[in-house]
Chain A
Amino acid sequence: MAELLQILVSGLSAGAIYALAAVGFTLLWQASQTINFAQGEFVMLPAFFVLAGMTIFGLPLWAAILTAMVLSLLILGAMFKKLIVEPMLPHGTLPLVIATIALGLLMKESVKEFYSAQGQPFPTLFPQHVLDFFGASISVQDICNLIVAFAAIISLQLFLGRTRTGRAMQATAQDPRVAEILGVDVKRMVMYTFLINGALAAIASILISPVYLAKFSNGETLGMIAFIAAIVGGFNQIKGALVGGLLIGVIDNVAAVYISAEYRAAIPLILLIVIIMVRPQGIMGTSEGRTV
C-alpha cells in the first residue's frame, strides 16, 4: 500500500508536468490548428536557456529562470508563430506538421552541437527531502512539482474562464470568423495562445530537468507523451489534456514497477491505441465535425 502511494504521487508529479506540455499542444490546436511536433523540444530548450544564463553569463538561478522565461515567450511563442506557423499554415496542416518536425530536429541538434551532448545536472528549485507518509517515502520535490504544475493550469483555466481576454480567446478557438465580426482581434488572441504555450513549455522544462537532467534528446519522449496525453484526454479540451497527462504519468510509473521497466515506454502507446479504438474523441473530448 505504501509503495503504491509512493508510485501514485511520483506518477501524478510527472503527469502534471506532462499535462503542461499537453495543454500547450491542445491550445495551439484549438487556436490555430497547429499540431506542434516540436513540443517536446520546446520543453527541452528552456532548461538550456537557464544553464547558459548561469554558466556563460554568470546569472543567479532566479535571474536565469526569468531570462529563460522571457526567451521562451519570444522564441518559442512569438518567433515560432511569425516565422514558422504564419508562412506555413496557409499551405495546410500537413506542411506545418512537417515543418514542426524539422524544427524539432534543428533544436535538438543545435543544443547537441552548441551546448553539450551529455546530460547536464540542473539545479532544483525545491528541497530534496523525503517525507514519511503512512510508511511511504514521498519526495518534497514531487509534491512541489505537482503544486506548481497544477497552479499553472488552474491559473490558465481562471484566465480563460474569468477574464474578457480569456473569453475572447475561447471565442477565437470556437469560431474565429464570428469572433472577428464581433470585434475580437483574432490575430492578437492567437498570438497570446502561442505566448502561453511558450510559458507552459518553460515551466515544464524547469520542473522536469532536475529529475531527468537537461539533455538534448529529452524532447523525443516528452513530445510523444504530450501528444499521446492530448489525444487520450481529448484534443479539444484543456481539462482533457490535464487528465491525459496525469493518467499517463501514473500508468507509466505503475507499469515500470508492476509490469516491466523495459516495456514501460510501450504502455502509453497501448493506451493511445485503445482510446482511439474505443473513444476516438478522448476521455474528456467532444466529437467535432468539419466540412471539407
Chain B
Amino acid sequence: MQANTVLSVQDINKHFGPIRAVNGVTFEVEKGEILGLIGPNGSGKSTLFNCILGQLTPTSGGVQINGKSVAGAQAHELSKMGVGRTFQQLSVFPEMTVIENIIMAGQEHHGTMLTRLFGKSDAGLTGEAEKMIEFFRLGHLRDEKAGALSYGQQKLLDAAMAFMAGPEIVLLDEPAGGVNLTMLQYLKERLITYNREHGTTFVVIEHNMEFVMSLCTRIIVLAEGQIIAEGAPEDIRSNQQVIDAYLGG
C-alpha cells in the first residue's frame, strides 16, 4: 500500500450461499482520485459498496481507510474516520430546513457530550454551512424545508451534506439517478470543483455512462463479482471485454 492510499480493498469475497456476489476484488484508491465503479446489473457493485461501508460483512478479505482496518466499524464510526457517503435514495431530513440539514451533517464531528447539551445549538457551524450552501448554489433556499425542494435540489443538498464533515473520502451511490440533464451537468461540475479545491477522494457507483466517464479519473469495471477491466475512461470506453459484459456477450 502506497503512502497516499486512502482506501485499500483487499481480496474481498462476499458469498450468499452458492452465489458469489463479490469474488476476490482488490484495488486501491489514491488521495484526490475520482474512481468510478461500474458494471452491468448484478455485477456486485452495490454488494462491494456495502462491504466497504461495513453494512455487509465480507465472507473474507479486508478494507482499510488510511491504513486502518474498518472491520466491524458502525456507520457513525466510519463517518468519524473521515468516510462520507450518499445513497441512491435521497438522504436529507425533509422536516428540517436546508441550513439545518447542512449543520446537522457537520455537528457530530465537533465538541463533546457536554457541548452538545449546553453549547451553541449550531455548533458554531452556521458560517461554514452557509459557505457550503453557496458552493452548491442553494443560498436562495436556505430556510426552505428540505422536503419542499425539487428532486434535483435535494440531490445537491445531499451532496453538500456529505461534504460538510470534511471527509477524506466520499462514496457516492448513483448520484446521477433521477436527476435532469441540466442539474446533472451542474452536479458534475460542482463535484469536480470540490475535488480540485479540497483534494477529497471520491468513489462513484453510477449507471449513467456519460456522467461517470466525464467525472472520473479512473474506472473499475465489475462483472459477475470480479474486476474485468481497470483504467482511464477513454481506455474503458473502447475495451472489448467491457462492451461484451454490457451487451451480455
> Number of A-B pairs whose CB atoms are under 8 Å?
74
A153-189 near B? 1/0 per residue, CB < 8 Å: 0000000011111011011001101101111111000
**What B residues does A170 contact at CB under 8 A?**
93, 95-96
Supposing A175-B93, A181-B79, A183-B79 touch, asked if A167 and B74 sit within 8 A by C-beta, the answer is no
B55-99 near A? 1/0 per residue, CB < 8 Å: 000000000000000000011101110001101000111111000
B102-117 near A? 1/0 per residue, CB < 8 Å: 0111011101010111
B243 CB → nearest A CB, Å? 35
**What A residues does B108 contact at CB under 8 A?**
168, 182-185
B50 within 8 A of partner (CB): no
Residue of B nearest to A182 (CB): B105
B79 touches A174 (CB 8 A): no
A171 touches B75 (CB 8 A): no
**What A residues does B103 contact at CB under 8 A?**
167
Name the one of A164, A171, A174, A186 contacting B116, with C-beta atoms under 8 angstroms.
A164
Interface residues on B, range: 20 to 34
A186 touches B76 (CB 8 A): yes
B105 CB → nearest A CB, Å? 5
A183 touches B161 (CB 8 A): no
B132-150 near A? 1/0 per residue, CB < 8 Å: 0000000000000000000
The answer for the CA separation of A162 and B87 in the assembled complex, in Å, is: 28
Supposing A170-B96, A184-B108 touch, asked if A162 and B121 sit within 8 A by C-beta, the answer is yes
Residue of B nearest to A162 (CB): B121
The answer for the CA separation of A186 and B76 in the assembled complex, in Å, is: 8
A174 touches B80 (CB 8 A): no
B6 within 8 A of partner (CB): no
Name the one of A171, A177, A185 contacting B104, with C-beta atoms under 8 angstroms.
A171
Residue of A nearest to B105 (CB): A182
Residue of A nearest to B123 (CB): A164
Residue of B nearest to A237 (CB): B95
A178 touches B116 (CB 8 A): no
Supposing A178-B92, A178-B93, A183-B165 touch, asked if A167 and B107 sit within 8 A by C-beta, the answer is yes
Residue of A nearest to B92 (CB): A178
**What B residues does A161 contact at CB under 8 A?**
121
Residues of B that sit less than 8 Å from A by CB: 74-76, 78-80, 84-85, 87, 91-96, 100, 103-105, 107-109, 111, 113, 115-119, 121, 123, 161, 165
Q: 26 A-B Cβ contacts within 8 A?
A: A163-B118, A163-B121, A164-B107, A164-B115, A165-B116, A167-B100, A167-B103, A167-B121, A170-B93, A171-B96, A174-B95, A177-B91, A178-B91, A178-B93, A180-B74, A180-B76, A181-B76, A181-B84, A182-B79, A182-B105, A182-B161, A182-B165, A183-B80, A183-B108, A184-B76, A184-B108
Known A175-B93, A181-B91; further 15 A-B contacts with Cβ < 8 A: A161-B121, A164-B123, A165-B117, A167-B100, A167-B104, A167-B121, A170-B95, A174-B93, A180-B79, A181-B79, A181-B84, A182-B76, A182-B79, A183-B76, A183-B79
Residues of A that sit less than 8 Å from B by CB: 161-165, 167-168, 170-171, 174-175, 177-178, 180-186
